Structure 1
Amino acid sequence: MKSVGLFKSLPIEDPESLVERDISTPIPGDADLLVRVEAIAVNPADYRVRRRKADDGAFAVLGWDVAGELVATGSAGAGVSVGDAVSYAGDLPRPGGTSEFHAVNAAIVGHRPTLLTPAQAAALPLTALTAWEALFDRFGLSPDASSERRTLLIVGGAGGVGSIAIQLARLVPGLTVIATASRPLSRAWCERLGAHGRRYERIETGRSRLP
């Protein structure tokens, strides 16, 4: 199958920094699923793995946020069936999904949102998990909480995690969601996602502050 990866870390401008290579189609283990890849997302994990790749002659495939179609399951089975549209954030110690097919542990795979295209669904897993864990696991917020008046500041609201965090935070009763954003396009995006406040003032030092 076709795949894209690297043999060693090179500047991204180098034509050999990412190369196409034919590799064997993975065989899913007992707890795995085999997914026909339709879209992958590029995120900081890919950047860090690429920059740290040792010059050891081994070919490494990047891409851990994946959307695709389930084509085979291991013997353990799973909560999804062959033919289902799925998406997931993969497992860094295993090969990435920038390939025609990808083997992944069934425990981290879920049904793809039906209203999203494969490209849109692939952009969600890592950002959505990060935002969810920060808000509900670390901060202890809950959509079922009382309507106690509180305020949440999201720095960089127009970024990947910030965009998801705004939408999730708006599910919490009584929570005022303020997002920072500097460009008009970014400010409009945060407002569209539901942020209550986003206005910046510029001070003489060139830094920004919330009014």
Structure 2
Amino acid sequence: MTITLAPWHVGYEKHLAGSVYAAAPGLRTQAAEALVAAGIAVHVDVMAPGEGLPVGVTLDELDELAATVPHDMLGVHLVGSADGVRAMLPRIPDVGDLYVPLGTPGIGSARVWAAIWDEVDEASASMVDLTGYDGALLMLLEPGTSGVADPDRLSIATALARRIDVTLDGGVTEHLMPACLSTGASTAVVGRALLLDSPLPEGH
């Protein structure tokens, strides 16, 4: 199998990050290479162990990706409880962007984003304390799950984007992309709708 990018990405490159979690484990480095070649940032979901979450990208895979992807094009989302994420931080390589649960500090020189699920709604988005964060990663779908984005959450993105840089993540598709950008968000993380796998040509 080989990884290709859905044709609709053309014109959106600077507003996309491709989630390699959507690719099969053996194809994740290939997916990252395809994204980088297209000028699209690479997004990596790493799940805290022992918390009942699906198996995300492993730390060994992350090390391989960090050796392949330019530093400023690599972002890592640490999914789990604040304690679980803090325990993983010492194993995270130097990356451009680090997405952590709201209230969790970052490490190194990475731009740090507060990952937000149900901690914030439209009413509280103007008041939530984002001191120390470079941006907010607003989940449109519960972290660690798969499915369709909840477009009703885009109103939260609009409120947050008045204060801070916003990235949207979770179930984003080609058809939802214009609405995502209309909120003022700078970027959307896309996995299954962007990364396509197909059989290798004969002889490969």
TM class by smaller structure:
under 0.3
Give TM-score, length-normalised by structure 2.
0.28
Query: Structure 1-normalised TM-score?
Result: 0.27
Return the index of the structure with the highest Cα Rg. Answer: 1
**More helix per residue:** 2
